């Protein structure tokens, strides 16, 4: 079974803290993604990476950065957490070939207080 594992299921952080969300996949996928999911807004792409050390901005990259030093690991960084970053964060991965499905991690519910 494909596994995409996120480091935390629930996180509570204070405003201004630096927050790291980690994601690891075991299927040798080239592509990895970070989304946030909010009620009424659906899944929105923050960043994606199509290869090691490569990254591209998604639709809402402001306030976030990412790191991909190894193929299996993709990290999302909130440099200075704010309350409007309270959300469900979902990591996903897929093969680069056309029209392959994305496999999602279990999600991290982040609350910034």
Q: Looking only at residues 3 through 22 of this chain, which bind other proteins when binding is defined by CB under 8 A?
A: none
CB-based contacts of 15, cutoff 8 Å, min separation 6: 81, 82, 83, 112, 113
Q: Which helix (H) or strand (E) holds 36?
A: strand 31-38
Interface pick for other proteins out of 43, 52, 60, 77 (rule CB under 8 A): 43
104 binds other proteins (CB under 8 A): yes
Interface pick for other proteins out of 3, 18, 53, 96 (rule CB under 8 A): 96
Q: Looking only at residues 53 through 72 of this chain, which bind other proteins when binding is defined by CB under 8 A?
A: 56
> Distance between CA atoms of 104 and 35, rounded to whole angstroms?
10
**Residue ranges in contact with other proteins by CB under 8 A:** 30-31, 35, 40-45, 48, 50, 56, 90, 94, 96, 98-99, 101-102, 104-107
């Amino acid at each position: 079974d494909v596994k995409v594992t996120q480091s935390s299921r629930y996180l509570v952080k204070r405003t201004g803290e630096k927050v790291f969300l980690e994601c690891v996949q075991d299927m040798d996928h080239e592509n990895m993604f970070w989304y946030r999911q909010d009620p009424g807004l659906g899944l929105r792409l923050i960043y994606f990476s199509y290869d090691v050390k490569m990254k591209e901005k998604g639709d809402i990259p402001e306030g976030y950065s990412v790191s991909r030093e190894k193929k299996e690991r993709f990290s999302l960084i909130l440099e200075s957490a704010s309350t409007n970053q309270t959300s469900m964060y979902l990591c996903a991965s897929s093969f680069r070939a056309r029209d392959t499905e994305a496999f999602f991690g279990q999600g991290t519910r982040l609350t910034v207080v």
